[in-house]
Amino acid sequence: MMKIWVDADACPVVIKDILFRAAQRTQLEVTLVANHSMHIPPARNITLLQVSSGFDVADDEIVKRLTIGDLVITADIPLAAEVLEKGGQALNPRGELYTEHNIKARLNIRDFMDTMRASGVQTGGPPAISKTDRQNFANELDKILTKYLTKK
């Protein structure tokens, strides 16, 4: 059975809310992995896995527990690459599905931006999640869940 894993420390609340509603609708397991406590709805199929603080601790835990076909919600491109290598699916909170066709380009852009920041260039962070981003995420999540549930 497909599980949904959420790289929850940086996941926007509005995206978590969409995931909570999807969990209620589909009864799929949703596990938020974070290094701090957070509120989750009182539902049997929604859990919080709190891990210790540290670089990539939550990411490593997700990869360790992931099984083929699971869905991971993350904006972390290296984590998405590991998820794909292990046979999982990775979806960005803005609604972009990471695939074997686009992950290398995303990694290259990420590495380029890291190099720019390291050389002192101010690149700024990503913009806030927009209404369009939320809609794109909800639509892509719905496609993935519908595809999975009709195969079951």
Check residue 104 and give its pLDDT: 78
- Residue 74 domain boundaries: 3-98+131-151
Question: Residue 143: pLDDT above 90?
Answer: yes
Helices (H), the chain: 13-26, 57-65, 77-85, 103-118, 131-151
Check residue 116 and give its pLDDT: 67
At 50, which helix (H) or strand (E)? strand 46-50
Assigned domain for 116 exists: no
Q: Domain of 72: which CATH number?
A: 3.40.50
Assigned domain for 112 exists: no
Return the higher-pLDDT residue of 89 and 106: 89
Domain count, the chain: 1
Assigned domain for 114 exists: no
| Share above pLDDT 70 across residues of the chain, in percent, rounded to a whole number | 89
Assigned domain for 124 exists: no
Grade residue 127 by pLDDT with cuts at 50, 70 and 90. Answer: confident
